[in-house]
Amino acid sequence: MQDIYLNEHYAELNPNWHEEDSPWKASQVEEIINRNNLEMSTFCEVGCGTGEILLNLSHKYPDVHFTGYEIAPHAFQRAKSKETSRVSFEFGDILEEKDAAFDVVLIADVIEHIEDYLGFVKGLKGLGRYKIFHIPLDLSVQSLYRSWPISNLRKKVGHIHYFSKDIALDALKDCGYSIVDYKYTASRLELPKQALSSHLMKLPRKLCFSLSADWTVRVLGGYSLLVLAE
């Protein structure tokens, strides 16, 4: 499935590379960094797309240098044009870099696209102490019942693996990580440009989430998982 990022197919389906989601994603990352009092001088994002998450974070942490790695030529070219004195971008697979090391590594909405995602996650361990994963929780009762939401994710954005909270956390533990912290993020409630069905489900999801977060995510879906691991 990585071929769709190396050629123009993904760019044709998603010409803006989801840049409009970046301020929201950066705010989620900022929250988990701050509530765990992470100290950092270097920060890396693997699969940085057009670089907007890093650019947003750079405004919040003026003493940190940010580096993004991207394998998709189209996205990398857009990111490279935005470089600053504290935000740089590299083209290629970070796992092929011998001396790459950072205080914090972000992997946001990436592992669901990678064929050998377990091998990929294991390979990231040596890049630094802390990893922040953002993982869409595509598996829910309603998505399995209707089936087409998962099918659309495969066709339009290249998801080839599908997670629930427990599957995601267990996968990280199986890869040798310790879970430091995690939180749900309300991706279908708060991200811009949502489908009509997501708008209709917004109020039921919010009300049910206030009563039982785990039940809501398992049954109604619409959430992602942000995990701090080491």
Residue 9 has pLDDT above 80, yes or no: no
In a domain, 201, yes or no: no
In a domain, 229, yes or no: no
Least confident among 17-21, 134-138, 149-153, 212-216: 17-21
Query: 163: domain range?
Result: 3-187
Closest CA to 69 of 86, 37, 52, 45: 45
**Pairing state between β 224-229 and 179-185:** antiparallel
Give pLDDT tens digits for 19-49: 899 999 999 999 999 999 999 999 999 999 9
- Using DSSP, how many helices (H) and how many strands (E) does the chain show? 12, 7
Give pLDDT tens digits for 87-127: 999 999 999 988 899 999 999 999 999 999 999 999 999 99
Whichever domain contains 179, its CATH number is: 3.40.50.150
Sorting pLDDT into bands at 50, 70 and 90, what band is 5? low
pLDDT, residue 187, reads 84
In a domain, 222, yes or no: no
Domain count, the chain: 1
41 vs 63: CA distance, rounded Å? 7
Sign of the CA dihedral with 23 first, then 29, 32, and 36 last:
negative
In a domain, 227, yes or no: no
